[in-house]
Amino acid sequence: MLVVRPIKLSDYDALHTCAVESGHGFTSLPVNEELLTNRITHSEYSFAKQDVTEPGDEGYLMVGFDTETGEVAGTTGIEASIGWDVPFYSYHISKVVHSSQKLGVNNVVKLLTFGNNYTGCSEICTLFLRPAFRGGLNGRLMSKCRFLIMSEHPERFSKTIFAEMRGVSDAEGNSPFWQWLQEHFFSIDFTLADYLTGIGKKGFIADLMPKLPIYVNLLSKEAQAVIGEVHDNTRPALKLLEREGFTNRGYVDIFDAGPTVECDLRNIESVRYSIRAQVQIAEHSSSKDFLIGNTSFENFRAVAAKGAYDQASDTVILSSEVASALEVKEGEFVRMLAQ
């Protein structure tokens, strides 16, 4: 059984393995001991923080582990409010019309405008599941457990939730979009720029990034073709978020031009349709699959398991194995999402 829980410092080696396996373009998992260690300790601080009434500098990082082997299968995270301590940049795609009635010319041209529009929003991030564990409901669990915790503790998150999707790059980490920017403005390769961003050294962006809007039709054909497109490995994650109600409102990443998708917290499907139920512990023969999380924050646990839910009494029968994995007792509550 895969169980999601808050990360601990003892998980460093497993997180480092995920960082290595995630490959180029996965900015939130840099292969850097100091940064990964800091990310873990900050998460421990964030989960332990009491009496939170609004999102702040908290960063929540979780891991999924196999109860049979103890092996960490992947990681998933939430940043409560981004852009305050370290600037968060993005491009917004807009349109301008160049027209002349006398000449009968009417051209619509796309622009990329540099900005910080997501400052203060909550970001779902760092979702990575190792290849050996990409089966069954594991992927859904690692992604949607974040919505279970948001449903139960909405005060810790902003009204707008967003996610950056990895853009197009090749096996060596080269991005067609970045290659155009590199040639004209940066003179450093994509992997280095991506790495510097991942370790928090973003000053070069503000120093070198063009401040005025960029006309899309002036970019290379290769760069234009990948704006708003996702990496092949990211398509399943994007489809899952789209089914949750996330949509792209014209924002793309400044490095690889991958789409940024967003949704109001209250409109996320898994938030709207999650169920709070009281636990009864007994063996049962139900074939109904649920994603289930306990209602604790500091000791959050989530699993994909079968349960026998009774709508009339708002109770759910869970096996002793599932209850133990969730660290819940008879009469306590869980939040569930039918699959």
Q: Summarize pLDDT for 263-287 with one digit per residue, the tens.
A: 999 999 999 999 999 999 999 988 8
Residue 220 lies in a domain: no
| Known active-site residue 231 | yes
12 and 128 share one domain: yes
What pLDDT score was predicted for residue 81? Answer: 97
Residues of 184-220 as b/e, b for ≥16 C-beta within 10 angstroms? eebeebbbebbbbbbeeebeebeeeeeeeebebeebe
Tell me: do 249 and 308 sit in the same domain: no
Task: Count the domains in the chain.
Answer: 2
pLDDT above 70 covers what percent of the chain? 92
Query: Do 163 and 281 have their domain in common?
Result: no
CB 74, CB 130: distance < 8 Å: yes
Q: Which of 75, 78, 79 is nearest to 18 (CA)?
A: 75
Indicate whether 160 and 260 sit together in one domain.
yes
pLDDT at residue 158 in the model:
98
Mean pLDDT across 93-103: 87
- Residue 14 is assigned to a structural domain of this protein: yes
More confident residue, 172 or 147: 147
pLDDT for 22 equals 84
Tokens at 262, concatenated:
């967003």
Same domain, 284 and 238: no
Same domain, 169 and 282: no
- What percent of the chain is modeled with pLDDT above 90? 69
What pLDDT is attached to residue 223?
93
**pLDDT of 172 over the 90 cut:** no
Cα separation values, 22 from 19, 31, 70, 80, 224, Å: 5, 10, 20, 23, 26
Residue 213 in any domain: the answer is no
Calculate the average pLDDT of the chain: 90
In a domain? residue 182 = no
Residue 75 lies in a domain: yes
Write out the two tokens for 304.
């994909």
Rg (alpha carbons) of the chain, rounded to whole number: 22
Residue 20 belongs to domain with CATH number:
3.40.630.30
Mean pLDDT of 62-91: 92
> Is 212 domain-assigned?
no
Residue 25 near residue 167 (C-beta atoms within 8 A): yes
By mean pLDDT, which of 6-10, 16-20, 309-313 is the weakest?
A: 16-20
Domain coverage including residue 295: 274-338
Same domain assignment for residues 154 and 293:
no
- pLDDT at res. 324: 97
Assigned domain for 13 exists: yes
Q: Which of 16, 24, 153, 231 is catalytic?
A: 231
Alpha helix segments (H runs only) across 245-319: 269-272
CA distance 136 to 146: 18
User: Is the pLDDT at 140 greater than 90, yes or no?
Assistant: yes
The reply to whether 322 and 232 lie within a common domain is no
User: What's the rounded mean pLDDT across residues 231-236?
Assistant: 87
* Amino acid identity, position 10: S
Same domain, 6 and 154: yes
32 or 262, higher pLDDT: 262
What is the pLDDT at residue 191? 67
Looking at residue 38, its pLDDT comes to 92
Q: pLDDT-derived band of residue 193, with 50, 70 and 90 as boundaries? A: low
Predicted pLDDT at 8: 96
**pLDDT higher than threshold 80 for residue 24:** no
Residues 132 and 261 in one domain: yes
Residues 12 and 31 in one domain: yes
